[in-house]
């Protein structure tokens, strides 16, 4: 996913190691995706939609 974000937007996402299998995506300080809600890893397009929405805000 980090490579997909770099390819599409030209910036490198920062990865932080978590615990317990939790995967969350933040834009700024806001959580825009959490597998604690969906119980699965997101598709790239889902994260791209969140990035696009953040750019418009």
Measured distance CA(6)–CA(34) in Å, rounded: 20
With bands split at pLDDT 50, 70 and 90, how would you rate the model's confidence at 47? very high
With bands split at pLDDT 50, 70 and 90, how would you rate the model's confidence at 49? very high
Mean pLDDT, all residues of the chain: 89
With bands split at pLDDT 50, 70 and 90, how would you rate the model's confidence at 14? confident
With bands split at pLDDT 50, 70 and 90, how would you rate the model's confidence at 45? very high
Given a cut of 90, whether residue 8 has pLDDT beyond it is yes
DSSP string across 32-49: EEEHHHHSSPPPHHHHHH
């Amino acid at each position: 996913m980090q490579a997909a974000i770099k390819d599409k937007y030209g910036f490198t996402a920062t990865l932080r190691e978590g615990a317990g299998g939790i995967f969350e995506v933040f834009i700024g300080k806001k959580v825009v995706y959490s597998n604690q809600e969906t119980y699965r890893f997101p598709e790239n397009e889902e994260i791209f939609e969140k990035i696009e929405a953040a750019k418009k805000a």
